[in-house]
Structure 1
Amino acid sequence: MGWTGTRAVYYYKNGTVNRKKECDEYLNTCLDGYELMRSTMRGTTYYAAIRKIKEEKQPVTGVVILTRVDNSEGLNFFYKVITENMGPAETKCPDSILDLLTEPESDITRDWRKTCREYNQQKRVLAGFHMGTQITVICSGKKYLLTKSVLRGHSTPQWICWPERTKFRVDDIIRLGFEKHRLDTSEITSA
């Protein structure tokens, strides 16, 4: 299934498209026989739990909607709907939505949910580290020592490789894999 384009109806006060509200409206009006239970945006990706209300058991399934905005065209909001049984590549669905879903019937669905939960767990681990905690990641065969720091002018902690003056995004750290740095006694310098 390809992308669908439409003219956005919902905007924020600053004039940008309210992607979440656009997707909520799509699911509420265009999916006959389903009820939207919960939804959220993670970046430009929309995640939702929908319940099939015309069946006796009323199964709840996950939906992922990729979104794109292009104001240079007449149609300015584009979306692509992917159900969880299609095995979406986007795996940042929050636990609050995953907890609502009924038992999966396929391995594809089961694997997608497991990958989402693993991502959420790794994100919690990184968020739980104290300021100054160091982790190591390997990127393109090179090992980086990252320190959890708050940069001037930022309120959100960042993961910085100070010798390289490089910032790593949390999503990249999770994708690459990380280990908490263990201080080797040979690294301690005496004063």
Structure 2
Amino acid sequence: MGWLSMPLSSMHPHSTPKAYLDAQLTYERVIDEPAEAEGEGGPLPSRKGLRVIASSCLRNKVYYAAVAPTTDGVDGPVFAVVCLVRWNPRAKDGYVFAYKDMDETAGPNEAECPERILALLSPTENHSALQWRRRCIRNLARPTAKLEDGMRIRFASPIKFTDGYEGQEFFVRKRGRKTALAISEHGSARYRVTNMARMAFSVVPQTKVHRTVF
């Protein structure tokens, strides 16, 4: 399936990608089954749908969800849904949100599903889904990098923020337990990235000029 784009008005009453996708993946419909039994009445229509059990939209770029198919209110095996997300509230053309959805059997490239969501998934024998789950588990097990104040880092790919800015190199700003990013060495911290220490980035060497003492 390709990308589906929309203005903010089409997301109403939802104002975030996560809220909109949660609603899209939670529904119930009446399915008219053909009558198979003779006599009066026949089988009643069944109610089928989907239910989001838990979800996360990391950095407003990738949405992960544990989803259960439902039949007459009873949940079936829980599987994972992954949606690529484009979110730009200041888009000049007005199309602030776009997404592309798939399930785990499609073997998504994105494999940073949070542990709390993986833990909710039912056992599966689908090879692609199993491979994807293993990649997610390996990424969770990857040691986090130590971020130090003033460090200059370069992400593996550019990151786009909700104000429209897109960049790949930033300076780390540490304030107690909080970590933020600045776009210049002496600039103020303007951006936050969820799970930043687990993302793929490299440290950019900086030349330090020391004052000469006579």
Task: Place the TM-score, normalised by the shorter chain, in its bin.
Answer: 0.5 to 0.7
CA RMSD of aligned residues (A): 3.4
Q: Highest CA radius of gyration, 1 or 2?
A: 2
Q: Distance in 2 between matches of 1:46 and 1:62?
A: 10
User: What's the counterpart of residue 3 of structure 1?
Assistant: 3
Identify unmatched segments of 5+ residues in structure 1. Answer: 12-16, 133-138, 140-149, 159-167, 177-191
Give the letter aligned to residue 104 of structure 1. T
Contact 2:69 2:77 in 1 (8 A): yes
TM-score when normalising by structure 1: 0.61
1:89 is paired with a residue whose SS is coil
- Matched with 1:54 is 71
Given that 1:38 and 1:97 are in contact with CA atoms closer than 8 Å, whether structure 2 keeps it comes out as: yes
1:35–1:52 Cα contact (<8 Å) kept: yes
Matched residues in 2 for 1:80 and 1:157: separation? 29
**2 CA distance for matches of 1:35 and 1:27?**
6
Q: Could you tell me whether the CA contact under 8 Å between 1:10 and 1:21 is conserved in 2?
A: no
- Counterparts of 2:18 and 2:127, CA distance in 1: 29
Match of residue 199, structure 2, among 161, 168, 171: 171
Higher strand share: 2
SS state at 1:59 partner: coil
CA deviation after TM superposition for structure 1 residue 151, in Å: 4.0
Pair 1:41-2:57 in alignment = yes
Relative to its length, the structure with more helix (as a share) is 1
Q: Report the Cα distance in structure 2 between the residues aligned to 1:130 and 1:68, rounded to whole angstroms.
A: 27
Contact kept in structure 1, 2:85 and 2:97, CA below 8 Å = yes
Q: Quickly say closer, same or farther: Cα 1:153–1:109, change in 2 above 3 A.
A: same
Q: How far has the Cα of 1:111 moved from its partner? A: 0.7
Deviations 1:138-183 (A, max 9, x none): x9xxxxxxxxxx746683289xxxxxxxxx964215xx8xxxxxxx
Structure 2 segments unaligned to the other structure (5+ residues): 30-47, 150-155, 157-171, 182-195, 203-214
Cα distance in 2 for partners of 1:99, 1:67 equals: 23
Match of 2:126 among 106, 114, 119: 106
Q: Which residue in the other structure is 1:23 paired with? A: 21
SS in 2 for 1:68: strand
